[in-house]
Amino acid sequence: MRIILASQSPRRRQLIQFLGLDIEAISADVDESLATAPDPAQNAIDTAHLKVAAFADLPDAIIIGSDTNVAIDGEILGKPRDSAESRQMLVQLRGRVHQVHTGIVALRTADGALATTVSSSDVHMRDYSDDEISAYIATGDPFDKAGSYAVQHPDFMPVAHIDGCFAGVMGLSICQLAGVLREVGVNVPAEITVPCQTTACFRQPMYDPHF
């Protein structure tokens, strides 16, 4: 049976390797604006549903969809359109606590069995300087990131600490993904249930901090 990750995100494609399963990664061409739930956690789940639905017609497959958003004061921050918007987001987040929600959906196409979860974390940003913001924007890294930052960026390092799942903030909570996959009949190794709650698993050789 095929297992397909419906994502173009290089971060999710690398994170999912921790499951040790044979998984195909295929970009899901969906209109994410169709997810309109005002609640950030529900919006992440709804967007993940859209990605799964794009491959629902495949026979005898497991489809995984995931979406991550950043929210502060109830406002969802998407990917910045340009440098000015990137700067605006980073200034808005600086020195404050916000939430990162990663919705995960798994579908077994043979019978329509569906499992859903969401990883929500409180992220405490450090008080980085205007010059640091400018240098980070100049790298081009913020432009495909919700909230205009990557928690794992080795130079900018915008986050002071996280109350929640490091992998979930990166874009895919591995322990929670393992849970939904088990719900739809995928045999996932039991030891996967714990490591992504800390940064320990990202010290393994397969982890590239630059992706």
Catalytic residue annotation: 67
CA–CA gap between residue 64 and residue 139 (Å, rounded) = 31
> CA dihedral defined by 70, 45, 192, 2, rounded to 10 degrees?
-130
CB 114 within 8 A of CB 184: yes
Which is it for the CA torsion 62, 193, 121, 202, positive or negative? Answer: negative
| CB atoms near residue 146 (< 10 Å) | 23
